[in-house]
Structure 1
């Protein structure tokens, strides 16, 4: 591994020192000192990203004159001409990146980071922020950066599972869980990766349901979904995170009906992916039961929040998540491009969807 490069520069927040890649021991120390750190902001997640694609570590340690410091997780895509390189925190489906810091970061420091990213030679530079940072960084965004507004459903676990069940779960969700408990549903949780094949089989069955609902050709849906979320990715995350990755599987009459993958770091639990055989799972409400058990498990482990991820407003999935009493919070992505590749990509996707009659 090459030695880290160090850059000294003047910014609106004063002199700034940048070290890249960020030293691992410093990054882990900031993770331990920043209570809002998500599992996807850890060096372990960087290792998962690198194992899942042609990426290299370009994380950046920022040090300011007043003593403020932060690490920005960042990867660049290898094997591309320099003018086509991208740097993301994180790319594609890898979720929330953004800064990790042992103390509070103000708009001036955030602006200095944006200015540093704006100078990067890559075609595209982007970062996805956790909800706790959204307001501060929104006040620092310079001209030239665009925003993709993402929202996530986050359930407050304050008070423990008893309080969450009584005060936050909607009545319809409590009924669904009780119905599952009265049905022939057995649940298993594994933290070794042993249940990855069972989960991914359900994921592939889910693709058929999604394709039919969205009027998408099955071959295209399977290619698109498995390319965006290959089985190897689940295996890598389960292997690298160990006990922090829990796979919950519900079986009805002995057959796999539904499964969820829940990741955990510190006081934060996150639903990473879910899948089901709807014909088996829906009549017995297997998925609500899995979430209730995972939420109870997170409460017992001392977690303060359960992140159910994002979904389109008004969609049935958003209504499902609302049933747990989760709040909708902003988790924006900001990006800068030297050429309008995102606009071109969106235009092509819209054209294809019109041709095939895609719905959703």
Structure 2
């Protein structure tokens, strides 16, 4: 594991309430143990995912280890970038899923508040945490002064009862579209092979151009941004580290890839990327068959929830997700900064968008 120099820092029980000791970076063994036993864990909180982030994203991995007065224990996967006093920390970095605490028992707001207080003491210019949306109630209650909350919206499917029960909760138009895809002859292949990564990434590059058109963004700029955020090598690294937990589902018509999704599998599954050749896939409703196939596999593997990712303010995306029984979950990303870097970054991005005439597609 790539980690920073240990920031060992004993903490007395009177300093931050429930937290009595932070031993700095957690060991891989401790991190893995909590990940395997925390039923609320999502794949982007795993040590193997951390290795992929460090290798493909050029981040340094510094998972924080916490012990509480009642004997319970937690780990916060944390990643940094920068030099000396200009380092920033994320859990996880942008475009790398959900983060937040892993623990051997339910984390109370008081315990989480003590963790946040400790994070404020670390030598970073800022810390940003994007927790599991299903944990929002704890994070909202635990917030301390000085932390900003950035509103988000995600959709999540409860997989209770197995696939037949989940399918019974699909809206009728979802079933209609799934059957339509089957009648069109859409075939779905799942796996993590290099060939599937190639097909998925080829469709993703087509999507960059489509999004650029909708957002009135120069195609070259959109492609540059997309490939910078999601190069093919990133997905190859994910697949190498997660193994069978990295699942690509590619839909084909007449042997030609027309749509694909990436789903990470664990206690809770996470649909994290989608790509489509809109001209070929639109009429076939291939995306419906892709989602149904992935949801069925998540149920078979014992996942308790199927996260459908960030929805933002897109009404059409929210409608699509709700057809599979997904529930809208308002949550927040939390940020603590000593220097107002987020405001500076927001101003710079807004300026560029005005110059290019950018329009929010949603």
- Give me the TM-score of the superposition, normalised by structure 1: 0.95
Residues 297, 184 of structure 1: alpha-carbon distance in 2 compared, 3 angstrom cutoff: same
1:50 aligns with 2:25: no
Q: Is the 8 A contact 1:68 1:105 kept in 2?
A: no
Q: CA deviation at 1:309?
A: 0.5
What's the CA shift string for 1:104-129, capped at 9, x where partnerless?
Answer: 22222111111111112211111111
Separation of aligned partners in 1, 2:250 and 2:57: 28
Residue aligned with 1:343, SS = helix
Separation of aligned partners in 2, 1:302 and 1:72: 24
1:19 aligns with 2:59: no
* Residue pairs, 1:49-198, within 5 angstroms: 49-77=53-81, 80-166=82-168, 168-198=169-199
Separation of aligned partners in 1, 2:314 and 2:19: 46
What's the CA shift string for 1:26-47, capped at 9, x where partnerless?
Answer: 1111112211111111111110
What's the CA shift string for 1:278-330, capped at 9, x where partnerless?
Answer: 01111111111111111111112222211110112343222211211101113
Separation of aligned partners in 2, 1:337 and 1:5: 19
Q: CA deviation at 1:332?
A: 2.1
Q: Which residue of 2 aligns with 1:307?
A: 307
Q: Which residue of 2 aligns with 1:253?
A: 254
Separation of aligned partners in 2, 1:51 and 1:170: 41
Gapped regions of structure 1 (runs ≥ 5): none
Q: Is the 8 A contact 1:12 1:108 kept in 2?
A: no
Q: CA deviation at 1:3?
A: 7.6
Q: CA deviation at 1:132?
A: 3.3
Separation of aligned partners in 2, 1:104 and 1:189: 34
* Residue pairs, 1:218-229, within 5 angstroms: 218-229=219-230
Residue aligned with 2:57, SS = coil
Separation of aligned partners in 2, 1:196 and 1:357: 33
Residue aligned with 1:348, SS = helix
Q: CA deviation at 1:2?
A: 7.8
Gapped regions of structure 2 (runs ≥ 5): none
Separation of aligned partners in 1, 2:253 and 2:152: 35
Residue aligned with 1:103, SS = coil
Separation of aligned partners in 1, 2:206 and 2:85: 40
What's the CA shift string for 1:165-201, capped at 9, x where partnerless?
Answer: 22x2111111111100101222211234431001000
Q: CA deviation at 1:131?
A: 2.4
Moved over 4 A (4+): 1-5
- Give me the TM-score of the superposition, normalised by structure 2: 0.94
Q: Is the 8 A contact 2:57 2:234 kept in 1?
A: no
Separation of aligned partners in 2, 1:82 and 1:2: 11
- Please provide the CA RMSD for this pair: 1.6
Separation of aligned partners in 2, 1:328 and 1:302: 22
What's the CA shift string for 1:30-80, capped at 9, x where partnerless?
Answer: 112211111111111110110112222211111122212110110111xx3
Q: Which residue of 2 aligns with 1:32?
A: 36
Q: CA deviation at 1:15?
A: 5.6
Count how many residue pairs are aligned between Structure 1 and Structure 2: 356
Separation of aligned partners in 2, 1:249 and 1:261: 9
Separation of aligned partners in 1, 2:262 and 2:207: 15
Q: Is the 8 A contact 1:189 1:249 kept in 2?
A: yes
Q: CA deviation at 1:5?
A: 4.7
Q: Which residue of 2 aligns with 1:244?
A: 245
